[in-house]
Structure 1
Amino acid sequence: MNQLPTWHDVIGEEKQQSYFVDTMKFVDAERAAGKAIYPPAKDVFNAFRFTEFNDVKVVILGQDPYHGPNQAHGLCFSVLPGIKTPPSLVNMYKELAQDIEGFQIPQHGFLQSWAVQGVLLLNTVLTVEQGKAHSHSKTGWETFTDRVIEAINQHQQGVVFLLWGAHAQKKGRFIDRNKHHVLTAPHPSPLSAHRGFFGSKPFSQANQILVQQGKEAINWHLPMTV
């Protein structure tokens, strides 16, 4: 049995690639020019810090980080404690309240307790300029996060991918559906949640799939305050 690689094995190789070096140079230059770039440099790779490669059970794929002050901290859909819960996450909480028995909607949007249980909260693009959505798309991040998904696809077994909206579904098109489980729905954004995100029961479905494989279910309940 081959030993599963760590993120260091997977990402370490990518960090030597010229496209990745260029991406980091671009982000560093933007910061050096005095632009507000989110999340802070120390938080850009938090998704990998809180969810080790071998522990990945569920992948939730986001687009790019929140672009308001103090929101983004490297986990998709999540915001730092003390920050108002953004609209898409409000809708995720509404679905959780319907989907997971006893789920209480918390007063915050901090999802780190999911990440440490094996929910990889991965954005497609890992940085953004303040107030400018998608400002860092096509700078190389998409290639990097494709490699991350490829590594999970290749080395892991039975991971549940929650792909919400056309962007995430396109990104996940090469996932091997014979090895992994892909659950799709419209995006939880207020623009599309009513088109089928509500009622899709992704959280209970993910747990059902994990339990069927003999894995431990995710505790989706969040502390009321952080």
Structure 2
Amino acid sequence: MSTEQPALFDPMPEAAVPGYSPEDFPFFHGPRSMADAGLIDPSWVATLLPLSSTLQQIARDLSARSLGGERILPDPALMLRALQLPVDQVKVLIIGQDPYPTPGHAIGLSFATGAQVRPLPRSLGNIYRELHGDTGIPPAEHGDLGSWQDQGVMLLNQVFSVSAGLPGSHQKIGWTAISTAVIDRLNRSTPPVVALLWGNQAQKLVGAMSNMVILRSAHPSPLSASRGFFGSRPFSTINHELEALGRDRVRWRLPSA
């Protein structure tokens, strides 16, 4: 996800803010239940099972926050959506920070939005600008990156929830234990995963990626894109690395919404 501030001048939707009980968060019921419901791939159950109590505590914390008036994003069923990609199909890992804090934007995949979101978040717009400069692919009109995920690109945030309008607000509630476990599992993959680390926050994870192919640059947010993100050519470089590993290239062109 980006470090950009939400568009605070945009009015919040007038729909009532839901107050969730812990049981409203699917991960409260454990990873096996989530896999049975199709919310994560079964291949992630073994990774998450030792963290079941952590997931329950996160659900309790989020419930208390929502009942206290915070609007929690994204929808609980989407928070672990990145784990719908099976472990053995992950060939590229793109690390974000936390979900977009603008209501309607966060969908559980780092940097992505729903196909209907307009205008696009500025970080995503910069990603498309670099994609065009790197590969010649015209910028998409939508933010649905599902076709990347379908090809083995895991779009993983380090933190899986946020309060509306408050970027970084859930960094200390336990999510990093979950993302760390996911990264540790991917670090043991064969052939290795290609990890794309945008910005200082993502690059702090390098020590947990000893067996991955690591690419890094500045973050695509408006505050830092001109300081090393533009011109970094991540998309062609990823495909070069995948070819060297004997893996299929990613088709970066997004389908029409």
Give the TM-score of the pair, scaled to structure 1.
0.91
Counterpart in the other structure of 2:205: 171
Give 1:91-102 correspondences, 5 Å limit.
91-101=126-136
Counterpart in the other structure of 2:238: 206
CA–CA separation in structure 1 for the residues paired with 2:144 and 2:206: 25
Counterpart in the other structure of 2:58: 23
Counterpart in the other structure of 1:86: 121
Report the alpha carbon displacement of residue 34 of structure 1 after superposing the two structures with TM. 4.2
Counterpart in the other structure of 2:49: 12
User: Given residue 105 of structure 1, which amino acid in structure 2 is its aligned partner?
Assistant: P
Cα displacement string for residues 46-81 of structure 1 (whole angstroms, at most 9, x for unaligned residues): 1111x2111000000000100111100000000112
* 2:81/2:109 contact within 8 Å kept: yes
Q: How many residues align?
A: 215
Cα displacement string for residues 113-151 of structure 1 (whole angstroms, at most 9, x for unaligned residues): 111111110001000011111111111001111111011
* 2:123/2:222 contact within 8 Å kept: yes
User: Given residue 51 of structure 2, which amino acid in structure 1 is its aligned partner?
Assistant: E
CA–CA separation in structure 2 for the residues paired with 1:57 and 1:155: 9
Give 1:143-222 correspondences, 5 Å limit.
143-176=177-210, 179-222=211-254
Counterpart in the other structure of 2:160: 126
* 2:191/2:245 contact within 8 Å kept: no
CA–CA separation in structure 1 for the residues paired with 2:162 and 2:142: 22
Greater relative contact order: 1 or 2 (C-alpha under 8 angstroms, separation 6 or more)?
1
Give the TM-score of the pair, scaled to structure 2.
0.80
Counterpart in the other structure of 2:7: none
* 2:183/2:208 contact within 8 Å kept: no
User: Given residue 150 of structure 1, which amino acid in structure 2 is its aligned partner?
Assistant: D
Unaligned runs of 5+ in 2: 1-41
Moved over 3 A (4+): none
Tell me the SS of whatever aligns to 1:154.
coil
Does residue 72 in structure 1 map to residue 106 in structure 2? yes
Counterpart in the other structure of 2:17: none
Counterpart in the other structure of 1:41: 76
Choose from 105, 118, 141 the match for 2:175.
141
Does residue 111 in structure 1 map to residue 148 in structure 2? no
* CA RMSD of superposed structures (Å): 1.4
Tell me the SS of whatever aligns to 2:196.
strand
